[in-house]
Structure 1
Amino acid sequence: MKRKLALWILWVGFIAYLVFLAPPFHLDETLALLKNLLTLQWANINPIILSLFSLVGIWLLIYSSVLFIDGRMQQIPFWPFALASVVSGVLGLIPYLAVREPNQAFSGEKDAFLSLLDSRWFAIILSFSTIGLLAYAVFFGNWGDFWQHFRSDRFIHGMTLAFGLFCLLFPTVLYDDMSRRRWYSPEIFGIVAFVLLLGPLAYLWLRPPLPTRESWLIS
């Protein structure tokens, strides 16, 4: 109950912060940026902003690789929240984290979609994509320009904070995923939780395949 309440408070608080305390929202500039991002016109976009936008998408895929499996055993499935997250980022994700119940079981067979999300190749592709995006931002990005946009533009400001929330919230689903694979270890949990972004990617790469054909619970 405390976890659920904390997540709802975080969700409402983040929305209130974006509405009342974040920098102004520049509609024309934001629409122009989104148009350039989605139409692959990246020449005039700061590599840091481009990488950050892409890394938010990486985070959605990381969570998807855990929560679509988790949603199989929940009363409320994950897919509506996944669709909401595509549009609203972490604001679409937090309500699912708040309404889901702790669960360390999986029943039945993996379909093709779950098999893809559970595969090591999926994790490897995400990992190399992330490393490329981080390198692109670090070596080619204009950090002064990014800082100026962070301080003056609500979209960039909110996207940056959302990225941070994605990092901080992953441990809320990590224990259940490790347990349903019979792979829980406090040491591994701590490393994955505290090595932001790269820790979850390494976890997806190294975790054992999901057991199937039976339903079981690890207490």
Structure 2
Amino acid sequence: MARKIGFGLIWLGFSFYAFVLAPPDQGNSLELIQQLATMNWEGINPFVIALFNLMGIWPMIYGSVLLADGCEQKISAWPFASLSFAFGAFALLPYLALRQSPQPELAGESSRNLKFWDSRGLGLGLLVGGVVLIAFGLSQGDWANFVQLWQTSRFIHVMSLDFCMLSLVFPAILIADANRRGLSIQSPLFWGAVLVPFLGPLVYLCLRPSLYANALQTTEG
């Protein structure tokens, strides 16, 4: 119950800050979002381009962990994971508040969909994409301009905080995933995912034991 209340309060507080206390909207947010989504990037700070695209990787990271919750949950994770492509933590925090305590075993039968989210190939692809975007933003971006935008644009301000929120909340869902895979929470891989923002979870997806291999070992045992 404390976990549910905690996530609920985080969601309410974050929403209140984003819509009440964050810098006011400058009136061009929809146009900027459209430009970013359609890759019409001319004149946009590469920092903003990189951050916007990194926000598209976070839902894939969360999906790779949460979608294994399966049929043990009264509420499915996939609608919230899907909405997080547009709304980030604003969509995921309500699911984390409503989520039942996961079981250590894989819930439900295997499926092609779940095997896709469990695959190391997906993790590797996301890691490569994330590294490329970070390198692009750091090498080409205008930091002073980004700071100014962060202080004056609600969209960029909230998107930046959304990225940080997703980084801070992710460790809370790792223990169940590690238990399902027979991975010790004392392992360097687990703590790397906890302590290293963004890249740590991506490396975790690449190196974590297979969900189905551990399920098979549990059955045979």
Normalised to the residue count of structure 1, the TM-score between the two structures is: 0.93
**Cα distance in 2, alignment partners of residues 192 and 111 from structure 1:** 26
Aligned to 2:59: 60
The alignment status of 1:201 with 2:212, answered yes or no, reads no
1:39-50 alignment runs, 5 A limit: 39-50=38-49
Aligned to 2:158: 158
Misfit runs of 4+, over 3 Å: 212-216
Shift in Å, 1:142:
0.6
Shift in Å, 1:21:
1.0
**Cα distance in 1, alignment partners of residues 43 and 71 from structure 2:** 42
**Cα distance in 2, alignment partners of residues 92 and 108 from structure 1:** 24
- Number of equivalent positions: 215
Shift in Å, 1:94:
0.3
**Cα distance in 1, alignment partners of residues 121 and 217 from structure 2:** 25
Aligned to 1:90: 89
Query: What is the one-letter code of the residue matched to 1:114?
Result: L
SS in 2 for 1:59: helix
The answer as to whether partners of 1:73 and 1:107 remain within 8 angstroms in 2 is yes
The answer as to whether partners of 2:70 and 2:108 remain within 8 angstroms in 1 is no
The answer as to whether partners of 1:106 and 1:214 remain within 8 angstroms in 2 is no
The answer as to whether partners of 1:107 and 1:213 remain within 8 angstroms in 2 is no
C-alpha distance after superposition, 1:51-101 (max 9, x if no partner): 101111111100011111124421111112123212211100001111112
Query: Which sections of structure 2, spanning at least 5 residues, go unmatched?
Result: none
The alignment status of 1:101 with 2:100, answered yes or no, reads yes
Query: Which sections of structure 1, spanning at least 5 residues, go unmatched?
Result: none
Shift in Å, 1:170:
0.6
Percentage of matched positions with identical amino acids: 40
Shift in Å, 1:140:
0.1
The answer as to whether partners of 1:175 and 1:184 remain within 8 angstroms in 2 is no
